[in-house]
Chain A
Amino acid sequence: MKSFEFFIAKRYIKARSNSNFITIISMVSIVGITIGIAALIVALSVFNGFADLAKKIFLKNDPHIKIVYRKTVSLEKILEIEKIILSLKDETKEVSRYFEGKVLLMKNRQSLPIVLKGLQSLYSDKNEGSLLRLKYGSDINPKSKERTAIIGTFLAVKNALVVNDSIFIISFDGLAKSVSGFSIPPIAKFRISGIYESFNKEFDMTYVFISYENAKKILGRKTIADGIEIRLKNPMKANDLIKKIKEITGENDAQILSWRDLRKDLYFMMDLERIVAFIILLMIIAVASFNLMGSLSMTVIEKKRDIALFRSLGVLPKSIRKIFMLEGIIISLIGIVAGSVLGYIICWAQINYKLYPLDGTRYIIDALPVSLRWEDFAAIAIFSLALTFIASYVPAKKASESQIAESLKWE
């Protein structure tokens, strides 16, 4: 059953003496909150869009779980860990042993520090190779005796390298030995068999892929792997799997990292950015709440005589407070709903009609990325309601404290 407080609050918002239009004062408050909410939703959704895009790119190139063996780990332990990981076949997409190490790449009398990587799939040797999208050329053939490598697009463009060019690789290990032993450093010649594109400039510039066997030789490794890289069907489940793997391995055997750990600082920065943007944009709602507080205070002054009359008719002060609290809350709810709808429409239009396009030749996307999340809507609604609740409380309390006789006596 609706209460008389609600009946009165609703009428105060809606009607002014004989017109049935919404009052200007309520309208201004509603518009303020609507704009604030819409701005918050659009801004957060753009942040989400960029974060999702970055995550998508990183998740494509980065392993979802990376196990890095310690130097002291035994071969038995490595095999035990691999057995566990292979038993989780339902969750994993690809599992590869890897060798990884810094080397110098020599070309055109220049030397560049790069990271050399060799992968060996634990499921079959078919997948051995870069696992990346090849733009030109072909993948590494692990069966072939020939030394072949795959390099990134940016590295290729910057150093004028094309498919079938030769590059020379010197390991830092070999370099150190040659300096102390006054011998010529061991140089390995590779043919570029393919060029990949990762959409990540840093990754493109850094990683050069060769076969697992070649990597073992060049990097001078004695073990069966530096570690294991796992790609999952659902990267969001990385932590669950890590928990299972950690049951049999200790910190002494291996370091286990999730995709989030691999770029901890970046993901932390993205989260921080979102929170800061949320807080700053919440200021818009705070301003709108002050506006609401002002307009409600004016209503309370305007309705001074009505309040006295209600009190003389037997309305308790707490019900008077309730009437004006309800008025504030109804106004803010209208604003929150309208703002959410407006924000949603803007984001939807951006997704479907690209209101704000980007230059597709310069960026990897053709429009400002936007991603809507219901958690944002919930958080915004809760915080806005809390702010407007406080804003309504002050004038409502003042209304409940007014003296009856004084307001009725003095015209």
Chain B
Amino acid sequence: MDNNFILIARSVSKTFVNAHGEKLTVVKNASLILEGGLITAIYGPSGAGKSTLLHILAGIEKPDDGAEILIEGENIANMSEKKLSDFRNKKIGLVFQFHYLLPEFTALENVMMPMLIAGDSFNKAEQKARVLLDLVGMNYRANHKPAELSGGEQQRLSIARALANDPKIIFADEPTGNLDSANSEAISKLFIDLKISLKKTFLIVTHNKDLISLADRSFEMRDGVLNCKF
């Protein structure tokens, strides 16, 4: 059985229509499998469609008709908006290049947010968030706003947020794209730690050679076509 296959994606395409009515296919018939507890990396030149593919797999963008994206046996390509929102909240975690932390909220509150959205009480969410902040080594910054944090700290915080609600998969879009080499290395190390300690599954889109070398599986994407590189 495909018990260890966390995500199975088949025939995923994405076509955009620009203002002049021209069709542009960004992702061309991509298929991939994510194995549980492994880090899978997608790399390739800018504009190859990596981020779009990641967004589709994470359920924040709709693929073209005919795609099949199975997570725990459910096809997220056909899910209703309500079910999909719930899925994003509980089953996946997202890390972005520009961290996208909420500037009005403290570090602690940012990590609490996915749990509050899931309906947890403030006390429960706060307890869990403190554990996660500890895990990424950010507890000493709990009451600071994102603007008061360094780039590396911001990215750690967004990883802690991605771990809220204990998701199956963490999707990371260029997580080290905005960081210097020291911070990049620290983040890469954090991913490995989390893979080992929490047995999380990662899909990382990146340019970072070190991060690619750390991945258990890697795919190259070029002009919308995904190639397996085992």
- B116 near A7 (CB under 8 angstroms)? yes
8 closest Cβ contacts across the A-B interface? A314-B89, A4-B116, A405-B61, A314-B88, A404-B60, A314-B85, A309-B100, A17-B103
Complex Cα gap A47–B96 (Å) = 61
Q: Any chain B CB within 8 A of the CB of A12?
A: yes
In angstroms, how far is the closest chain A Cβ from the Cβ of B87? 8
Complex Cα gap A291–B59 (Å) = 37
- B147 near A314 (CB under 8 angstroms)? no
- A18 near B61 (CB under 8 angstroms)? no
Given contacts A17-B147, A314-B118, A405-B52, 12 further A-B contacts (CB under 8 A): A11-B104, A305-B100, A308-B100, A312-B60, A312-B88, A313-B94, A314-B86, A314-B117, A316-B81, A319-B117, A409-B55, A411-B98
- A313 near B61 (CB under 8 angstroms)? no
Cβ-neighbour of A309 out of B55, B85, B87, B102 (below 8 A): B102
- B60 near A311 (CB under 8 angstroms)? yes
A interface SS class = helix
In angstroms, how far is the closest chain B Cβ from the Cβ of A304? 11
Which residue on B lies nearest to A314, using beta carbons? B89
Q: Any chain B CB within 8 A of the CB of A306?
A: yes
22 contacts between A and B (CB under 8 A): A4-B116, A4-B117, A11-B104, A16-B104, A17-B104, A17-B147, A18-B148, A308-B100, A311-B60, A311-B85, A313-B88, A314-B85, A314-B88, A314-B89, A314-B114, A314-B117, A315-B85, A315-B117, A405-B60, A408-B96, A409-B51, A409-B55
Q: In the assembled complex, which residues on chain A have CB atoms less than 8 Å from the CB atom of B88?
A: 312-314
Q: In the assembled complex, which residues on chain B have CB atoms less than 8 Å from the CB atom of A312?
A: 58, 60, 88, 94
From 32 to 83 in chain B, residues with beta carbon under 8 angstroms from any chain A beta carbon are 51-52, 55, 58, 60-61, 81-82
Q: Any chain B CB within 8 A of the CB of A317?
A: yes
Complex Cα gap A12–B94 (Å) = 23
Complex Cα gap A17–B201 (Å) = 33
Complex Cα gap A282–B112 (Å) = 42
Q: In the assembled complex, which residues on chain B have CB atoms less than 8 Å from the CB atom of A310?
A: 113, 117
User: Which of A4, A308, A314, A316: most chain B CB closer than 10 A?
Assistant: A314
- A17 near B145 (CB under 8 angstroms)? yes
A312-B88, A408-B96 known; A317 and B81 CB under 8 Å?
Answer: yes
In angstroms, how far is the closest chain B Cβ from the Cβ of A379? 36
Q: Any chain B CB within 8 A of the CB of A15?
A: yes
In angstroms, how far is the closest chain B Cβ from the Cβ of A226? 78
Complex Cα gap A312–B113 (Å) = 12
Complex Cα gap A409–B14 (Å) = 15
A4-B117, A17-B145, A316-B82 known; A408 and B60 CB under 8 Å?
Answer: yes
Which residue on A lies nearest to B88, using beta carbons? A314
Cβ-neighbour of A405 out of B55, B86, B104 (below 8 A): B55
Q: In the assembled complex, which residues on chain B have CB atoms less than 8 Å from the CB atom of A160?
A: none
Complex Cα gap A33–B82 (Å) = 36
Which residue on B lies nearest to A11, using beta carbons? B104
Q: Any chain B CB within 8 A of the CB of A1?
A: yes
Per-position 1/0 for B5-34, Cβ under 8 A of A: 000000000000000000000000000000
Which residue on B lies nearest to A406, using beta carbons? B61
Q: In the assembled complex, which residues on chain A have CB atoms less than 8 Å from the CB atom of B148?
A: 18
Q: In the assembled complex, which residues on chain A have CB atoms less than 8 Å from the CB atom of B90?
A: 314
- A316 near B102 (CB under 8 angstroms)? no
From 282 to 303 in chain A, residues with beta carbon under 8 angstroms from any chain B beta carbon are none
- B147 near A18 (CB under 8 angstroms)? yes
Complex Cα gap A77–B59 (Å) = 88
Complex Cα gap A408–B158 (Å) = 15
Q: In the assembled complex, which residues on chain A have CB atoms less than 8 Å from the CB atom of B102?
A: 306, 309
Complex Cα gap A2–B174 (Å) = 36
- A15 near B104 (CB under 8 angstroms)? yes
Complex Cα gap A42–B116 (Å) = 44
Complex Cα gap A314–B114 (Å) = 8
Q: In the assembled complex, which residues on chain A have CB atoms less than 8 Å from the CB atom of B58?
A: 312
In angstroms, how far is the closest chain B Cβ from the Cβ of A182? 100
Q: In the assembled complex, which residues on chain A have CB atoms less than 8 Å from the CB atom of B96?
A: 408
Which residue on A lies nearest to B115, using beta carbons? A4
